[in-house]
């Protein structure tokens, strides 16, 4: 299939990561993570997040989010999140089924949630009849391609700490956020009070695998059981570990994210020049949301596929990936202009 | 790590499958299975099991088993299985957590369960106070390296049909069983009434990925939701699909299983020559169970690692894999003889 | 404790029902519902709802709602309901824990939900990534003391039928609704497409016990297992059954509801005369919602206790019960006037 | 219905308890336990178990057991219990559904489990692949009418403490056990290390209601949420509380249990005189298990109903209750003799 703007999971595997997979494929290795590659990958993560953190590899983002949240909750709890968050709109009822918890949503227009709205949502504390809020979960970057500033995260963290809540971050696109902020991972996660982080691999060039990083390591104490019970423990673990090792080496994570973000910025710039198109969100990371004339969408999707995000308004989502190239932006924009003309 | 007899998941990826992974790694592909590779792999499965079957790819064996069983049950049901079955001893409480069901176990000495014992276990039908048996689940080959004959499976199937139960097979080592029986997959699954099958890939040379095959396709009607909710839906699905395609092409599945089984047979033959060692199970597939003199075990584990299966009796498990070589058998046996002497 | 306006569950047991409890207390009776009293009570229900319905007694309203909904759903489903519904705000996360489902809420100002808003909420049908709406649940009367008209219910039912959804009614105060509408139970439940009904007993003068009425009896096929598993099957069932028999005899259900509703109407009339007080909801059944001057609330609560419903606006809830008497209304209103003066 | 030997839940309500129910039925009372009767009943319990314990009332035995166990476990845990325990054979899959845990059963012939067998069952500690034992649960008296001695309980408790497990007691017939042992409740529960106790009311003369007693009060910290979520929180709580108050007053609990136990002893004595009948269990409490000639069972069941416990061996269960009278024993035994003759 031709390159698309459909999703960063339409991409394949970055060559460096494919190389790593080929290289570890010799001999035997201890299963379920008892192997040298897993130790090495964990060490890599510790270089980024600190020696104290606990790292667990899982298969996918839903697994990382749901199991991470499960480690923070009892079934009578509630998880505060944006109504557009991936855990709310794109993970079926996995959060409810596995944690038993309520998702307590906050409406958002830009993908972010803010302290005031969170405070408003916290109700009936200690009331046995009502779900008890216990975790605040945010996505960084958000599902709308926006990125929380460090201060914004710190402010949410303060709300969490004030109420004795945990703070969870869905970082399926965390590398794109780090590049956008020009900050280290640590500066906008553990330094500002994030307890558990889903660190994304697949959308940034890996074949499969995500990491659950316990920045507050105490809450990790029973996670090995939760992961196994959650059907997310891989037997031939070296094949996840080596990918993370490669991703975190030679700034591969950064280079991939820079490419994706740069292409999104370029795409947005080009689209802004077209009067019939309206960019709807701040283009902070690797996604562009825009209202297109509905008439051009079907033909344009044939050129390079993408998803309509909001049917009613003809808002589309255009995702760039580590493998998006300038020529694709150009041909896409050219085709838009032809179709509009 | 040197080759071991620890587990067939200590092995890496078969070169043919690694090739396939490298080959599909170009361009974009629809995510979550909406890609040509997934269609092609499903077609391959249909060649083996019939046009009517429904195929879903998941990440691992626990996922395949638990979600397959989930599609067959309501939470007040019970699943009849061997007390040594993987779902009972090696999947944490994933079956209970995800299905809500009771595992209703039958004691076994050879890894198999038999119709009489199953009939004895079926109690209190229609009694609201008691878990209601609804599924019989067997492993083929079993966790003890034994293989059910076609007739044995047919006899269990008859019990299932008589009571209106479903019949599930954990086929994490189904290729080893097929080679052992010298039968097609179909002959000992759909032809004898198996409804849902976990078809193993990882232990037979894949990097990751298992398949849930609905031989009774009606019960698959809501499985796509169960898989997603069960956190087992891969985004970059082509990388599971291409592996299955390669495994099912050129009899790769068979060649791998032949190698593993042959090595197990050879190993058993050699061990039988040593009077201090007692083979405890019929060596039907790729595993050898044997009682070793406990004194030699630690030194021998350093030579080539393996697991002690039953501490009390010094029964060990020796698993052969697609990559086990004759020279490893020889050096292992040689070392045993040295240690015993 | 003096009579209050706190809740209809602050009341005791109506004397007719207490008599019934005393009368059945002799000799032995089959347990778990295998007794003549249960048969008789079920027959009574059939006189109201039709011969075809299936009736199950449970302990409480949360049990009735959650288990009724459980019989209609798989865990990947969503239940559409008002954001003020009892299942959403007052049953902890029992719905999520027991059904696995998402509660898909619709904002409401009067406690009711309407077809247009329901239609807007129905999204991403057949999309494996998103919770699949399967049930619409309404409360009759609502948590805000309002009552759906028959036409309003029929219109919601039409939406449910159009999409192949089930239609559930939380009737913890159904008798109050029937009196308000001056309709038979049947006319606003089974006649307009309600599939499963929680029929309330406790709030209308019973000691304990609610009924789950399957108006669409097919969906009841496995409810006996769900009830037992849901810990809602009483052993000495005659003591629930005899209460329902008494409640449904001699129009006791109606007389109790008439008293409660009449008192609420009277209370509202009196409150409307006080300029500093604003009635916020239509007083259709036995509850009055009103904004009180916040300064008078603490002293007034000492006179006759009631709950503040919305802290921010000083909106209070005043519930009348089968045992509320005119003199209590008068003394309460008198006290208000004193406090305001 | 005539008196039976079917079950202690075929009985009605003891007159003292019925009186208590009638007496509290006046005026209003705070709901959900915020009433004076609940405070008073809790105080009564503290007189028996100590000031430090925490008491929660629930509806039934399954609720008490499952929610009590839920407060002690995470979903990857296992609960060690007898294979004949009520939680294993008579509570559907409520334990699995609500706790997620495995029931790890120990075969028993007399209803009891013993330290050696428990130790044997404890396997694979800290192994993420296997359910992790965390609770030992026993029934006192057992489902087979036997009673653990204080020393037997202490010995099991020692196993629990050694492994860091919790110790749970299903005391649905705890009063019968106390009378049998001639010990205070405290002596065979908190004094010997029981952490959580289901204290039975219904089978000893109450209409409905059981108590969960946290003898180790720390583990009660979140039970109010578990109870509500578990659908076991009664609104008109005074009607459970007053029953427990009456049961624990004037030694009503003891007198009822003495009557039931005495009648069982008498019945056993009479049956022992009949050569064709074999008593199969020690008659420690209020149940008699005996093998009857199968030919006499149907006619005898018409005289006074009872249940066949084990079809294959014609073993029957004969339960005595607080309301069993000597004349019923005599007429029953007389009828047996007639039928055998």
Tell me: cis bond preceding B249? Omega within 30 of 0 counts. no
| Residue B48 or residue D311, greater confidence | B48
**So what's the pLDDT on residue A122?**
96
The minimal CB distance from C97 to the residues A75, A103, A128 is found for: A75
Average pLDDT rounded to a whole number, residues B153-168? 98
pLDDT one-digit tens code per residue, C110-126? 999 999 999 999 999 99
Q: Which two tokens stand for residue B303?
A: 């030579």
**C287 in Cβ contact with C6 (< 8 Å):** no
**Do B146 and B57 fall within a single domain?**
yes
Residues D112 and D197 in one domain: yes
Cβ separation D29–C1 shorter than 8 A: yes
Of C141, C82, C74, residue with least CA distance to C101: C74
How much is the pLDDT for C266?
98
Q: Read off the tokens for A320.
A: 């760039």
Contact indicator for D173, D141 with CB cutoff of 8 Å: yes
Last residue of a domain, one of C220, C247, C274: C247
Q: Is residue B62 a contact partner of residue B225, using CB atoms and an 8 Å limit?
A: no
Choose one of B247, B275, B301: the last residue of a domain: B247
* Nearest alpha-carbon partner for B49 in B147, B155, B164, B169: B169
Dist. CA D290–CA D278, nearest whole Å: 5
* Spatial separation of the C-alpha atoms in residues A85 and D149, rounded to whole Å: 57
Residue C341 is predicted with a pLDDT of 86
| Residues B177-194 pLDDT 10s | 999 999 999 999 999 999
Nearest to B107, CA basis, from B91, B88, B131, B90: B88
CB pair distance less than 8 Å for D11 and C18: no
Whether residue A63 contacts residue B231, with contact meaning beta carbons closer than 8 Å, is answered with yes
What span, in angstroms and rounded, lies between the C-alpha atoms of B131 and B109? 25
Which site among C34, C235, C239, C246 would you substitute to test the D interface, given the most D Cβ atoms closer than 10 Å to its Cβ?
C235
**Residue A2 pLDDT grade (very low, low, confident, very high; cuts 50, 70, 90):** confident
* DSSP secondary structure code for residue D101 in this structure: P
Q: What is the per-residue pLDDT for B341?
A: 86
Nearest by CB: A131 against C92, C100, C129: C92
Whether A341 has a pLDDT exceeding 90, the answer reads no
CA distance B234 to B227: 10
Dihedral of the alpha carbons of C37, C42, C44, C50, in degrees to the nearest 10? -160
Interface test with D, best of B61, B89, B92, B99 (most D CBs within 10 A): B92
Q: Give which of C92, C107, C133 to mutate to test A binding, by max A Cβ within 10 Å.
A: C92
CB A242 within 8 A of CB A20: yes
pLDDT for the residue numbered B2: 81
Q: Checking phi first, is residue C194 left (phi over 0); if not, alpha (psi -120 to 50) or beta? A: beta
Q: Kindly report the nearest CA distance between residue D336 and chain C, in angstroms.
A: 21
Task: Give the pLDDT confidence score for residue B43 in this predicted structure.
Answer: 98
H/E stretch holding B188: none
Among all chains, which residue has been given the structure tokens 């043919």?
Answer: B16
Q: pTM for this one? A: 0.97
B234 at C interface, C-beta within 8 A:
no
- Kindly report, residue by residue over A281-321, the tens digit of the pLDDT: 999 999 999 999 999 999 999 989 999 999 999 999 999 99
- The reply to whether A7 falls in a domain is no
Put simply, whether C89 touches A (Cβ < 8 Å) is yes
Nearest to A129 among C90, C97, C101 (CB): C90
Q: Is residue C8 one of the residues assigned to a domain?
A: no
Distance from CA of C127 to the nearest CA of A (A): 9
What pairs with residue B291 in β-bridges?
Answer: B278, B315
Residue stretches of chain D with pLDDT short of 70: none
- Give A48-87 as a DSSP string: HH-TT-EEEEESSHHHHHHHHHHTT--TTEEEEEETTSHH
Give the sign of the dihedral formed by CA A21, CA A24, CA A29, CA A33.
Answer: negative
Residue D28 sits in the same domain as residue D123: yes
In this complex, do A130 and C75 lie within 8 Å of one another by their Cβ atoms? no
Q: Is the CB of A92 inside 8 Å of chain B's CB atoms?
A: yes
- Using DSSP, state whether A104 is helix, strand or coil: strand
Q: Which residues of D touch B96 (CB under 8 A)?
A: 75, 96, 100-102
* CATH number of the domain residue A315 falls in: 3.90.1150.10
Tokens found for residue B334: 């040689």
Q: Which chains lie within 8 Å of chain A at 3 or more CB pairs, if any?
A: B, C, D
Q: Cβ contacts of residue C326 below 8 Å, gap of 6+?
A: C263, C266
3-state secondary structure of A33: coil
| Rounded CA separation A54/A70 (Å) | 16
Statement: residue A211 has pLDDT above 90: yes
Statement to judge: residues B262 and B174 lie in one domain: no
CB contact C47 to B (< 8 Å): no
Distances (CA, A) of C155 to B49, B188, C111, C167, C194: 48, 53, 16, 11, 11
Residue-wise pLDDT for A150-189, tens only, equals 999 999 999 999 999 999 999 999 999 999 999 999 999 9
Q: What are the φ/ψ torsions at residue A101 (nearest 5 degrees)?
A: -80, 160
Residues in chain C: 341
Q: Are strands B196-199 and B166-171 parallel, antiparallel or unpaired?
A: parallel
Shared domain for A261 and A179, answered yes or no, is no
Cα–Cα distance between C330 and B15 in angstroms, integer?
Answer: 88
Cβ–Cβ gap D229/A76 under 8 Å: yes
- The reply to whether A224 falls in a domain is yes
Task: Determine the residue among D22, D62, D222, D235 to mutate to test chain C binding: the one whose Cβ has the most chain C Cβ atoms within 10 Å.
Answer: D235
Neighbours of D168 (CB within 10 A): 27
Quick check: B90 and D129 CB within 8 A?
A: yes
pLDDT tens-place string over residues D269-281: 999 999 999 999 9
Q: Does B103 reach chain D within 8 Å, measured CB to CB?
A: yes
| Contacts of D among chains (3+ CB pairs under 8 A) | A, B, C
**Is D48 touching C (CB cutoff 8 A)?**
no
Label residue C2 by pLDDT band (50, 70, 90): confident
Closest Cα to residue D143, out of D108, D117, D115?
A: D108
Tokens of D72: 């002690």
Given a contact cutoff of 8 angstroms between Cβ atoms, the answer to whether A44 and A253 are in contact is no
For residue B126, CA distances in Å to A63, B132, C74, C222 come to: 37, 7, 21, 10
Please check whether residues A219 and A303 belong to one and the same domain: no
Residue C285 shares a structural domain with residue C300? yes
| Cα–Cα distance for residue pair D184/D188, rounded to 1 Å | 7
pLDDT confidence of residue D1: 78
Q: Is B27–A12 a contact, with Cβ atoms under 8 angstroms apart? A: yes
Residue B227's φ and ψ, nearest 5 degrees, are: -65, -45
Distance separating alpha carbons of residues C209 and C37, to the nearest angstrom: 14
Average pLDDT over residues A27-56: 97
For residue C92, what is the domain's CATH number? 3.40.640.10
Does B312 fall in a domain? Answer: yes
Task: Round to whole Å and give the CA distance between D58 and D201.
Answer: 10
Question: Same structural domain for residues B128 and B219?
Answer: yes
Backbone angles phi, psi at A78, to 5 degrees: -125, 150
Q: How many CB pairs under 8 A join A and D?
A: 36
**Which among B90, B96, B100 has CB closest to D130?**
B90
Q: Burial letters for C67-98: b for 16+ Cβ neighbours within 10 Å, e otherwise?
A: bbbbbbbbbbbbbbbbebbbbbbbbbbbbbbb
Residues B283-310: what's their mean pLDDT?
Answer: 96
Per CB-CB distance under 8 Å, the chain D contacts of B78 are 93
- Whether residue B27 is predicted with pLDDT greater than 90 in this model: the reply is yes
Predicted local distance difference test score (pLDDT) of residue C76: 98
**Residue A223: its pLDDT value, please?**
98
Neighbours of chain B (3+ CB pairs under 8 A): A, C, D
pLDDT at C222: 97
Q: Vertex A17, ends A12 and A22: CA angle to 5°?
A: 105
Task: Say whether both A157 and A279 belong to one domain.
Answer: no
Residues of B within 8 A of D92 (CB-CB) are 76, 128-131
Strands of the D196-199 sheet, one edge to the other: D54-58, D210-214, D196-199, D166-171, D132-139, D77-82, D102-106
* Residue D141, preceding peptide bond in cis (omega within 30° of 0): yes
B10 in a domain, yes or no? no
Closest CA to B270 of B339, B324, B319, B326: B326
Q: Confidence band (pLDDT; 50, 70, 90) for C86?
A: very high
Touching check for A102 and chain C: CB below 8 Å? yes
Asked if C77 and C101 count as a contact pair (C-beta separation under 8 A), the reply is yes
Residue from C93, C94, C131 to probe the interface with A (highest A Cβ count within 10 Å): C93
Among all residues of chain D, which has the CA nearest to that of B103?
D102
Q: Are residues C311 and C298 in the same domain?
A: yes
Domain that holds residue B185: 15-247
Tokens of B231: 């956190």
| Residue A85, CB-side half-sphere exposure with 13 Å CA sphere | 29
Q: B residues 4-43 near A, CB within 8 Å?
A: 4, 6-7, 9-13, 18, 21-22, 24-31, 35-36
Domain limit, last residue, from C208, C224, C247: C247
pLDDT at C21: 98
Which DSSP symbol is given to D236?
S
In a domain, C293, yes or no: yes
Residue A6 lies in a domain: no
State the Cα–Cα distance between residues C113 and C120, nearest whole angstrom.
Answer: 12
Residue in A2, A202, A231 closest to B94 by CB: A231
Nearest to B85 by CA among B55, B59, B111: B111
pLDDT band at C145 (very low <50, low <70, confident <90, very high): very high
Residue D227 contacts A, CB cutoff 8 Å? yes
Q: Chain C partners of D229 at a C-beta cutoff of 8 Å?
A: 92-94, 97
In a domain, A9, yes or no: no
Chain A residues within an 8 Å CB radius of C76: 92-93, 97
With an 8 Å Cβ cutoff, is B230 touching chain A?
A: yes
Neighboring chain A residues of D222 at a CB cutoff of 8 Å: 74, 76
Q: C329 and C186, same structural domain?
A: no
Report the share of chain A in percent with pLDDT over 90: 99
Mean pLDDT of the C210-217 span: 98
- For testing the chain D interface, which of B96, B116, B309, B311 should be mutated: the one with the most D CBs within 10 Å? B96
How close does chain A come to B169, measured CA to CA in Å? Answer: 18
Cα-Cα-Cα-Cα dihedral of C318, C323, C325, C330, to 10°? Answer: -20
Mutate to test the interface with B, among D70, D75, D85, D96 (most CBs of B within 10 A): D96
* Chains touching C (3+ CB pairs < 8 Å): A, B, D
Q: Given an 8 Å threshold on Cβ–Cβ distance, is B231 in contact with A60?
A: yes
Domain count, chain A: 2
Q: What is the mean pLDDT of chain A?
A: 97
Which residues are CB-contacts of B201 (< 8 A; sequence separation ≥ 6)? B208, B209, B210, B211, B240, B243, B244, B247
CB contact under 8 A, A131 and C93: yes
Asked if residue A324 and residue A207 are part of one domain, the reply reads: no
Would the pLDDT of A1 be above 90? Answer: no
Residue whose entry in the numeric block shows the structure tokens 């993570």: A33
CA nearest neighbour of A337 among A290, A281, A292, A289: A292
Residue C223 is inside which H or E element, if any? helix C223-229
Q: Does D310 touch chain B (CB under 8 A)?
A: no
Verify whether the Cβ–Cβ distance D128 to A227 is below 8 Å: yes
Kindly give, in sequence order, each residue whose CB lies less than 8 Å from that of residue B236, ignoring residues fewer than 6 positions away: A9, A11, A12, A13, A202, A207, A208, B29, B31
């Amino acid at each position: 299939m031709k390159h698309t703007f459909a999703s960063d999971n339409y991409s394949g595997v970055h060559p460096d990561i494919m190389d790593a997979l080929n290289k570890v494929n010799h001999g035997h290795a201890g299963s379920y993570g008892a192997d040298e590659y897993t130790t090495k990958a964990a060490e890599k993560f510790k270089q980024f997040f600190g020696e104290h953190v606990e790292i667990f590899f899982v298969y996918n983002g839903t697994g990382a989010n749901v199991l991470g949240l499960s480690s923070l909750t009892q079934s009578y709890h509630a998880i505060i999140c944006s109504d557009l968050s991936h855990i709310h709109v794109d993970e079926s009822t996995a959060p409810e089924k596995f944690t038993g918890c309520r998702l307590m949503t906050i409406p958002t227009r830009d993908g972010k949630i803010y302290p005031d709205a969170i405070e408003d949502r916290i109700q009936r504390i200690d009331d046995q009849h009502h779900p008890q809020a216990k975790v605040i979960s945010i996505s960084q970057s958000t599902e709308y391609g926006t990125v929380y500033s460090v201060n914004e995260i710190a402010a949410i963290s303060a709300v969490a700490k004030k109420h004795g809540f945990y703070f969870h971050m869905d970082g399926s696109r965390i590398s794109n956020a780090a590049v956008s902020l020009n900050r280290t991972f640590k500066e906008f996660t553990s330094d500002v009070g994030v307890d558990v982080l889903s660190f994304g691999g697949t959308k940034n060039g890996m074949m499969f695998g995500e990491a659950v990083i316990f920045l507050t390591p105490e809450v990790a104490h029973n996670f090995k059981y939760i992961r196994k019970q959650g059907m997310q423990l891989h037997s031939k673990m070296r094949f996840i570990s080596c990918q993370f090792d490669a991703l975190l080496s030679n700034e591969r994570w950064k280079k991939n994210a820079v490419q994706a973000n740069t292409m999104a910025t370029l795409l947005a710039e080009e689209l802004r020049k077209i009067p019939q198109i309206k960019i709807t969100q701040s283009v902070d990371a690797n996604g562009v949301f825009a209202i297109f004339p509905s008439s051009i969408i079907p033909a344009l999707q044939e050129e390079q596929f993408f998803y309509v995000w909001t049917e009613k308004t003809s808002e589309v989502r255009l995702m760039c990936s580590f493998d998006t190239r300038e020529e694709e932006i150009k041909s896409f924009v050219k085709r838009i202009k032809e179709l509009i003309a």
